[in-house]
């Protein structure tokens, strides 16, 4: 999937990606290149995986 980072809290390492009107949360450990930070508005490719509470979350997040 492709999307855009709409939020990222460096202190907590938590962010959200928006794709096709849906939002997918992610943790900084899901960033594929091993960095622990990503800019808001960055265009990304990602997969989805089951998350907490039955909600989908972003995984394998890669900058485009």
Tokens found for residue 27: 């943790």
Confidence band for 13, pLDDT divided at 50, 70 and 90: very high
Confidence band for 12, pLDDT divided at 50, 70 and 90: very high
Look at the domain 2-63 and name its fold.
OB fold (Dihydrolipoamide Acetyltransferase, E2P) (2.40.50)
Q: What is the pLDDT of residue 52?
A: 84
Q: What is the pLDDT of residue 53?
A: 87
Whether residue 59 is predicted with pLDDT greater than 90 in this model: the reply is yes
Q: What is the pLDDT of residue 39?
A: 98
Model pTM score = 0.94
Q: Where are the domains of the chain?
A: 2-63
Tokens found for residue 48: 């989805």
Contact 61, 32 (CB under 8 A): yes
């Amino acid at each position: 999937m492709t999307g855009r980072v709409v939020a990222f809290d460096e202190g907590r390492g938590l962010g959200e990606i928006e794709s096709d009107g849906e939002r997918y949360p992610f943790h900084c450990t899901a960033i594929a290149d091993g960095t622990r930070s990503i800019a808001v508005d960055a265009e990304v490719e990602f997969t989805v995986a089951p998350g907490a509470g039955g909600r989908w979350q972003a995984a394998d997040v890669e900058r485009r």
